Amino acid sequence: MSGWEPTRIPAEGLETPHGTLYRPLSEGRQLLVVLTAFLASLGVGGLVALVAGDLSDAARVVLHFWFVLVFFVGYATWVARLSAIAFDGLGRSLLVALWNLLVHRRKPASPADVLPSRDKLLEMVVRAQQAGGSFWRVSWSIAALAALVALFFDTQLESRTLALIVFGSVLTWGWLLGRLGSRGWLPFPEEE
């Protein structure tokens, strides 16, 4: 990947040995997409509540909750995965350099001994984008819990039907958010 430059990623993505690297949207567009995704998290719960029909206000709130939970837990999982990727790519070499400096009194010969190679950076960027699929992974357990809770709702729909609708819609929402994240449409989460 000697000819790889961050600004020259084709719109359809760049095939690398580590996977496909997609060109992220501009920061303004990413912000618009993340705000839309959050508001849509609220809206999708409302659509499911409309399908269910005559639900209590508490049940409607609970239906909204699952989609927002996928949004926030997916982002939290993405942050954790990014931290692991950063440690794997940067932390180990820094720790080795620090160990050599403190214990062996030997400093690195050049910054290249400590910093990751261009190929390692490319791998880290691809893995960071792929980690955006965290939304899909967390949606499975949230969807199962949401379906279980939906079994107890008193509605005109059969409880199993509502549970399947809730399960499928939470999974679909997680898949869609994961797709947006892994394609560079959502901004990378940042730790404070």
Per-residue pLDDT of 95-140, as tens digits, reads: 888 888 888 888 877 777 777 888 888 888 888 888 988 999 999 9
Rounded Cα distance, 68 and 45, in Å: 9
Rounded Cα distance, 64 and 49, in Å: 8
In this prediction, residue 56 carries a pLDDT of: 86
**Averaged pLDDT of the chain:** 86
Q: How many Cα atoms sit within 13 Å of 16 on the Cβ side?
A: 27
Which H or E element spans position 15? strand 14-16
Share of the chain above pLDDT 90, in %: 38
Does residue 58 register a pLDDT over 80? yes
In this prediction, residue 74 carries a pLDDT of: 94
Backbone angles phi, psi at 21, to 5 degrees: -105, 125
Least confident of 29-33, 141-145, 171-175: 29-33
Nearest to 20 by CA among 135, 100, 151, 132: 132
pTM (two decimals): 0.82
Does residue 4 register a pLDDT over 80? no
Helices of type H across 87-183? 92-102, 118-130, 134-150, 159-182
In this prediction, residue 150 carries a pLDDT of: 93
